Structure 1
């Protein structure tokens, strides 16, 4: 692994939302606003620049991965009951029951055709890891799988031209890694390959990711409180270090959970951060979350 000496200064970041949040996941930029899941409060939330955050919908089965259909309607993975849902004007509509084909579906990316690529956890924590493929839900309702032997596929992102999908294998041993696929015109995943590798998942486990306009990946490393910009092959060009606030949160660490590029010029990197610990997360997702932002050099992908 190549580490960069360019650590972005802490005073370049600003807090854009805090107070009342729990464990924040599923960062997505859509139609001029930041969307995310508050897993603790079981809410889908939206934050428009310069405004207060708002709760858009409640997901009783606990929301995680977010995406948007071609019509702009939000889609969300409901973890506890294993369903893919659409948020409509009348509430939540089921698009797919994933429980028969996926244990503990989690993060998701949706392409411009409306295909949903979903990463199942695949195994119970504490047991031996089980390799799985991604679940692909097509707009016509068909369910396929793509890839194989992925260990805890977590953060998922699709390149601007739709030709590449990258997924974080959070607990791949002996080294956590990003895995890439070529996406065919029919939405199939082929040419499975390693995009980048890191250290042991005991310390350098990867959570949420996003892709910028140069094809580099911003990856979140929760255990060590870092966001890194990574090029294919493993070169790290930029690092954001989140220092723990031990005075305010003496019972937990500062988790770098997820990020996404947005803002008027698509150069604002929104950082989803939660102060918690693995023990506090448990099944209740006990955490205190906030959202920070920093301006970066390379823009994101416009929706």
Structure 2
């Protein structure tokens, strides 16, 4: 049995883990904070405060952090000095996750309806934000879009469709447009949230109701699994050799419950795996 280590606890709804430099960055949606964690000594630093739920981030190739301010319908850039500026106006609120490819194209997804407000179901979509700040929708009819990842060769975007229990793939064109839509993997009862890709083109997905992280091959074959004692919201491969799977997890209370998770149940976990991370995030 592999050891699942707890690096940090006592947080809220934790999401969007990203490895950069020698630290793990994650978002605490409950606190409205983006936090940097040193996994060696456990020290933390709040690097941005944005009152938004969802609150997801990724890195531009130039190193600056892009932050989805969902409530404001904005994509923010955190400058090297720590100030936040508007990178793009997304036009409306309700955005969720983000991944940025190696050319600086940012893919941001949003749900089509908000079940917390009792809205009738509508499928969600993915929009492209190009380096010049323009925004356009590039994929639709994703029942509930969650985590996204770009394969190591930069040719494919994989999107977690939580409600359809599947990972959906698109080819990425020279201009960032998406085409060749296909089901990359059907997951049975698996409910994918945040995802990442490894060097063998397998995907790790975090599962909230399943309380686990699962590694799957294209087509859906299960290659590995890490069981958790609470909902897994997202995962990323990082560390000096990218062989540490960092998982953000919390005790899920349901979409209609205040706060969504049990207060103080948010944790950052780490487990060693065989295959290193690759691609983005």
Do these two structures clear the TM 0.5 threshold for a shared fold by scoring above it? yes
Structure 1 gap segments, 5+ residues each = 1-8, 244-253
Q: Decide whether the 8 Å contact of 1:40 with 1:284 is kept in 2.
A: no
Residue equivalent to 2:110 = 120
Query: SS of the residue aligned with 1:199?
Result: coil
Whole-angstrom CA distance in 1 between matches of 2:30 and 2:215: 28
Residue equivalent to 1:4 = none
Whole-angstrom CA distance in 1 between matches of 2:47 and 2:94: 24
1:117-137 per-residue CA deviation (whole Å, 9 max, x = no partner) reads 011011121444323331100
- When residues 116 and 279 of structure 1 are mapped into structure 2, their CA distance, relative to the original with a 3 A threshold, is closer
1:133-188 per-residue CA deviation (whole Å, 9 max, x = no partner) reads 3110001111122122111111111112211110001112xxx1100011112211
Find the partner of 1:292 among 256, 262, 269: 269
1:244-284 per-residue CA deviation (whole Å, 9 max, x = no partner) reads xxxxxxxxxx1111110001111000011112311675456
Structure 2 gap segments, 5+ residues each = none
Alignment of 1:260 with 2:236, yes or no, is yes
Q: Decide whether the 8 Å contact of 1:266 with 1:302 is kept in 2.
A: no
How many aligned residue pairs are there?
275
Q: Decide whether the 8 Å contact of 2:250 with 2:261 is kept in 1.
A: no
1:26-78 per-residue CA deviation (whole Å, 9 max, x = no partner) reads 11112222111110000001112313121111002345221111221111111
Whole-angstrom CA distance in 1 between matches of 2:152 and 2:279: 8
Residue equivalent to 1:154 = 146
Residue equivalent to 1:224 = 210
1:225-246 per-residue CA deviation (whole Å, 9 max, x = no partner) reads 0110011000011111113xxx
**Deviation above 6 Å: which 4+ runs of structure 1?**
none
- 1:1-303 to structure 2, matched below 5 A, reads 9=1, 11-19=2-10, 21-51=11-41, 52-62=43-53, 64-88=55-79, 89=81, 91-100=83-92, 104-125=94-115, 126-172=118-164, 176-200=165-189, 204-243=190-229, 254-278=230-254, 281-282=257-258, 287=263, 288-301=265-278
Query: SS of the residue aligned with 1:223?
Result: coil
- TM-score where L is the length of structure 1: 0.85
- When residues 23 and 185 of structure 1 are mapped into structure 2, their CA distance, relative to the original with a 3 A threshold, is same
Whole-angstrom CA distance in 1 between matches of 2:69 and 2:261: 14
Q: Decide whether the 8 Å contact of 1:183 with 1:189 is kept in 2.
A: yes
